[in-house]
Structure 1
Amino acid sequence: MQAKDRLRREYSSFNDLSRQFRMYDEQSIDSLLDDRLRIHMNPNGSDDMSLQRDDCYTPIYPAAHPQSPLLLLRQHNFKLRAYYSNVGNCVQCNKRIRFGVPSLRCRDCPLRCHTECSSQLTVNCIPQPLASTKRGHLSDYVPHVAPMVPALIVHCVTEIEARGLEQEGLYRVSSTRDKVKRLRHKLLRGKATPHLGDKDTHTLCCCVKDFLRSLERPLIPMYHRPDFVLATQLSDPLAVEEQLYLAMVDLPQAHRDTLAYLMLHWQRIAESPAVKMSINNIAVVFAPTLFDDVDLNLSNIVLWQQVLRVLLLQSAGFWAQFLAVEPPLPASSLDDDEWKRENYHSSSAHWQSVKTYFRSMVNLAD
């Protein structure tokens, strides 16, 4: 009887964990007492029936830890076409795409470049979001396939790490509001991916911060904050990692992927001695932005800074496991000209049938 009561206490406490870490599945208390099923509840083979933390959580990291933003690099699906209108400049060299000269356009993202610049291309392929209206939610700006990170953040982070890791004061030195507003409008509303090679790195950093502040819901929503705060109250590093994993899994996918991508980016900045932005400095700068607490007071700010420090101290492999790259949805096999011809013929056939119908009605009236 005592063994059954002890097992019931262990089973009820273990039932509070996520389904992903359950060993008992949906077995009943009586079935767990059966020696024949002991292998399912005690995989280590020992006679101790108590739950060990190593049994319910085993961190699995990718083989290679990401050290560059090329983790999200997705191959472009280029199409060769000659344009007979003004299509702007090449995203790589920032030179104008000449009239009638064949150039490359990606089918998945709004990128255009010269054919000779395709081998030197460093811009990530971020598929366009499905939503046409921007209501201010993070899910309105992310692609429809994983990793769901907004194109604005990916393009700015890629350019910052390409030119700014040896520059002092990233995310600390401000830029003019007019420059940030114009750059944000190009990245969110522009018809093509803009060239960022001539933009100041401080303007790019301020654009990332301004975008995170403008979201309708903060990157870490209010109803998910207790899960992250609980991780700061634990002393065991493995327990902290387990709690953070459970908190990340519960986040919406757009918030989870964006947070993981930014954590990898801020870790690279903290590791660069020339930037002079330690983990504590990054936590001070971004704590109000990520949490965006309505009731901002000193105690809340200190708590969010502590949470952000715990997040930044996790390994790069922990964050990389949330950034699996999925291929975009297959594009249509018809190019633009074929699509126009097909729709033209279908519309012409429709109007021909309408004319025939009215002619028959006129003939009947006569």
Structure 2
Amino acid sequence: MFSQELWLENERKCAMVRKAKPGRKRQELLAIAFGVKVGLRGAILWSPLKLFACSQISSLVRRAALTHNDNHFNYEKTHNFKVHTFRGPHWCEYCANFMWGLIAQGVRCSDCGLNVHKQCSKHVPNDCQPDLKRIKKVYCCDLTTLVKAHNTQRPMVVDICIREIEARGLKSEGIYRVSGFTEHIEDVKMAFDREIANADERLEAVHEVLMLLPPAHYETLRYLMIHLKKVTMNEKDNLMNAENLGIVFGPTLMRPPEDSTLTTLHDMRYQKLIVQILIENEDVLF
């Protein structure tokens, strides 16, 4: 890895290259990479070595930059603009002029909430700072958007999973070859997307929803959860824990209002999870 002095020297030389004519940049970058003074006459790079350098130079500079800015994570990100209809008067946050019209007056960045004219969106710099309130999921999310929203160098899911594997999975037979159960994988993904790790907030939200139930519904559910909790206390004999009971009772207790097979399949994991939470925390929630 580059030393501090070498880094500063190369940074100065790269600045000189950026100001040079486009045709010279490639050759001069290669010269810097191998410690040859810029503009030195007779400096001839062997062709295969030059080809190798072309594929490696950007990687070396990027690694040095990441080390130099280890605590900043200054990843550049473009805005994710989408046409938006604003309610009430609105001004462009780029040119500060009024947005005219009744519908589709401008565009809004779905990642950071920046509101600008459609024409102005072409001139906005790539300085999007995603807001966590707008990032609803971890999976199927743009990588740069995710790390900037969490102000991390990598997605937290990568760090968490690798730590777990290195702590207790390195000697597991068939690691990375033997597939896990699809249902368990989806549960883990859902936990990351929904932040189920915050148990206190989760229980508080479930309790607030229970308080909205009609008295007859609440009492019936409470009595059933007390019974199911007793079932789990005999798990050694009946092999039924809270998760298994959630799979059985979830579709019955939390049937969606519309009779749609697709909706039912999509909601099945959430149904199981809610019933599991009700059983495990019966003494707190009711």
Compute the TM-score of the two structures, normalised by the length of structure 1: 0.23
Higher RCO (C-alpha under 8 Å, 6+ residues apart): 1
Compute the TM-score of the two structures, normalised by the length of structure 2: 0.29
